[in-house]
Amino acid sequence: MTSAPPVVFEHGEIVQPRRVATPMWLRAALYWGYQYKRTWRSSIVTSFLIPVLYLTSMGVALGSLVDKHSHGVSGVSYVAYLAPGLLAATCMQIGANDTMWPVMGAIKWMRTYLAMLAAPLDVYDVILGHLAWVAARLGIVTTIYLAVMAAFGTVHSPWAILALPAGILTGMAFAAPMAAFSATQEKDVAFSTVYRFIVIPLFLFSGTFFPISQLPRLLEYLAYVTPLYHGVALCRDLTLGSGHPWVDVGHAAYLALWVGVGYAFCRRTFAARLVV
Partner 1 sequence: MVEAHKLEKRFGDFVAVDGVDFTIAKGESFGFLGPNGAGKTSTMRMISCISPVSGGTLRVLGLDPATEGAQIRARMGLVPQEDSLDLDLTVLDNLMIYGRYFDLPKKVIRQRADQLLEFAQLTERANDRVDPLSGGMKRRLTIARALISDPDLLILDEPTTGLDPQARHLLWDRLYRLKQQGVTLVITTHYMDEAEQLCDRLVVMDKGRFAAEGSPRQLIGQHATKEVVELRFEPGHHEEIAPRVAGLAQRHEVLPDRILLYTDDGDAALAEVAAMGLAPRSTLVRRSTLEDVFLRLTGRTLVD
Neighbours of 64 (CB within 10 A): 13
**Residue 275 interacts with partner 1 (CB under 8 A)?**
yes
Site string for partner 1, 83-122 (x = CB under 8 A): ---------------------------xxx-xxxxxxxxx
**Residue 69 interacts with partner 1 (CB under 8 A)?**
no
183 three-class SS:
coil
- Annotate 97-134 with DSSP letters as a single string: HTTTHHHHIIIIIS-HHHHHHHTT--HHHHHHHHHHHH
* Minimum distance, C-beta of residue 34 to partner 1, in the bound complex (Å): 5
Of these, 11, 13, 41, 225, which contacts partner 1 (CB under 8 A)?
13
> Are the beta carbons of 184 and 269 closer than 8 angstroms?
yes
- The whole-angstrom separation of Cα 22 and Cα 24 is 6
**Residue 5 interacts with partner 1 (CB under 8 A)?**
yes
* Minimum distance, C-beta of residue 103 to partner 1, in the bound complex (Å): 15
* DSSP annotation of 11: T
- The whole-angstrom separation of Cα 61 and Cα 58 is 6
For partner 1, the closer of residues 30 and 222 by Cβ is: 30
Q: Per DSSP, what are the bridge partners of residue 73?
A: 76
* DSSP annotation of 6: P
Site string for partner 1, 22-61 (x = CB under 8 A): x-x--xx-xx--xx--x-----------------------
Contacts with partner 1 by CB under 8 A lie at 1-2, 4-10, 13, 15-16, 18, 21-22, 24, 27-28, 30-31, 34-35, 38, 110-112, 114-122, 275-276
